[in-house]
Amino acid sequence: MITVLLCSMVWSMVPQAPVPQRFDIIELLGGESIEGRIVLERGNYLEIELSPNSMVGFRTSQIAAIRRGAGAPVPSPLIALLPPRDEWCTLHDATGKAVGWLHSTVAAAADGGLRLTEEWEFTTGKQHFQVTAIESADAELQPVSCYFRERVSEEVVGFLPSSPEGRAARVLHERIVEAKVEGQVLHLDRLRKDGRDQRELPWRETDTFPLLMRTLQATKGAALVATVFDAAIEELVERSYGADRFRTVMIAGKTVHVTEQVETAGVMRNVIWLDASGRLLRREVSGPSLVALPSSVDLAQAAVERIESQPAAFAVEASGKFGLWLPNPAWQVLPDVEGMVAMRCALHNATISLSVLDQLDAGVKLSSAGESIERWFHLLQPSFRISARKTIKVRDRMALLFEAQGKNGDRDGFAMLVVVPWNDRFLLLRCAAPAAEIAELRPDFLAVVAHLELDGKAITLLLPKEKPAPVAATMRKSDSSAASALAPAADPAGVPSGMPSGMPALAPTEKAAPKKRPMVRLPAAGQEK
């Protein structure tokens, strides 16, 4: 008896893991079951809370059984702040063509924690990508584990290319990564065609997983910087979110007020737009080269077969020498002019153009080109004054950036000029807008500067030489089971891991004969005006 008593005392002193509180279940005489929290029992009357501010009452004579604590776990106060989410999106490439689908969920887990999933399938060029990511967090929203599976395959055409039986998918690369947090260590387990390997990474209390970080930022709206485990590269990397910005943009020709979130990972910058209710309107998955637009499960998975398309996110100079990425759908490409590519944002009366400075002699130094641009701009806009000059890096080369303010008619105007070396000459990027719109448009201008396409050969490679074969037959939901067998794969050397770093192919379009750009003679360096 004494031994039992001592054991009971010792057991009571050992910290016990909290048991998640669970909802109650009421079974009615008619056979229905109702799950919630019983909040009132008085005589022959009972009330059950189905959700905050939503209650229903019953007489006990209507109830067959009351099963207290037999329902799902009650979410913790932190998790209760995160509404469940189940979103389907259609993925569009740089040309605007539908190339796949994306499915995201956020839901309370059976243990009272949180479960986040993301699945996507898309085709770029001849390769088909299937990715599944699953993350779990505890009741305090601390990361617990993650699962990542990717498969890269390509279609192989047999003797009967017109027949479904004559087509097959050859797996180029496939792997599964599982990670679990245990104290100050992240345990990794990777399975590939050539076997399984394990390793460990140091883990801090502030480290997290990418889906969890994105979900937390959506609830806070403040700037957030954290180290996350990126399973696509199996490393800890820094990821940041800027504070929410409230913008007025154009979507499908309509003016819309949105909350803009900007996610940055290394050199990759993804923009997310939410409506006033927090619902997704647009999400960049791999910059503007792969964009997710809200849809439904049926429409998202059938979009490729229907050959749906959106306006292209990329504008190429008439002869394919260089190009611009549109910052977002609020911008529209202007008609082709030889030696120039341009776009306009009608909502904010702003323009962006990129043109060849073929008036300068070949081999001119960057500093001399900058001086000539300053003189040319002063002649063109005598009321403007240069307010800032600095050297920046654009792609792999040094460039000059100028900012200017002045009167444009009866309004204050703003201009940003960037002089970029190109071959043995220079390109001029010019961004112009009313001064009152700069707070709204500066991020758009900087995004264009950071992603100029300056390599004509690379742009040529982006343009497909022939129409790709239909890929709808391969657009099927991938198996996300960790126990699924890995199919034999070809040598994965050169196959991208996770999201492709290159831009998707640009579809050819029929264009009218390009207009000639009017010649503007720039004063040479040291020449009098």
Q: Which residues pair with 102 in a beta bridge?
A: 89, 120
Q: What is the mean pLDDT of the segment spanning 498-510?
A: 32
Q: Is the pLDDT of residue 393 over 60?
A: yes
pLDDT band (50, 70, 90) for residue 289: confident
**Could you tell me if 427 and 355 are in contact, meaning their C-beta atoms sit under 8 angstroms apart?**
yes
pLDDT score of 147: 96
pLDDT band (50, 70, 90) for residue 472: very low
Q: What is the mean pLDDT of the segment spanning 96-106?
A: 90
Q: What is the mean pLDDT of the segment spanning 488-517?
A: 35
pLDDT score of 178: 96
pLDDT band (50, 70, 90) for residue 161: low
pLDDT band (50, 70, 90) for residue 438: very high
Mean residue pLDDT across the chain: 79
Q: Is the pLDDT of residue 137 over 60?
A: yes
* Assigned token pair, 396: 């792999």
What is the spatial distance between Cα 521 and Cα 360, in angstroms, rounded to a whole number?
8
For 451-493, give the DSSP string: T-B--HHHHHHHS-SSPPPP-GGG--PPP--TTPPPPP----T
Least confident of 120-129, 337-346, 384-393: 120-129
pLDDT score of 509: 34
pLDDT score of 168: 67
For 254-297, give the DSSP string: EEEEEEEEEEEETTEEEEEEE-TTS-EEEEESBTBTEEEEEE-H
pLDDT score of 437: 93
Helix (H, G, I), strand (E, B) or coil at 216: helix
Identify the residue with better confidence: 8 or 391.
391
Identify the residue with better confidence: 94 or 457.
94
Chain-centroid distance of CA 88 in Å reads: 14
Least confident of 215-224, 257-266, 274-283, 421-430: 215-224
Task: Count CB-CB contacts under 10 A for residue 274.
Answer: 17
Give percent above pLDDT 90 in the chain. Answer: 33
pLDDT score of 283: 93
Helix (H, G, I), strand (E, B) or coil at 100: strand
- For 453, how many CA atoms within 13 A lie in the half-sphere containing its CB? 25
pLDDT band (50, 70, 90) for residue 453: confident
What is the spatial distance between Cα 136 and Cα 211, in angstroms, rounded to a whole number?
10
Which pTM value belongs to this model? 0.69
The residue with tokens 């584990």 is 145
Least confident of 36-40, 70-74, 339-343, 486-490: 486-490
pLDDT score of 387: 92
Q: Is the pLDDT of residue 474 over 50?
A: no
pLDDT score of 52: 67
**Could you tell me if 441 and 348 are in contact, meaning their C-beta atoms sit under 8 angstroms apart?**
yes
pLDDT score of 504: 31
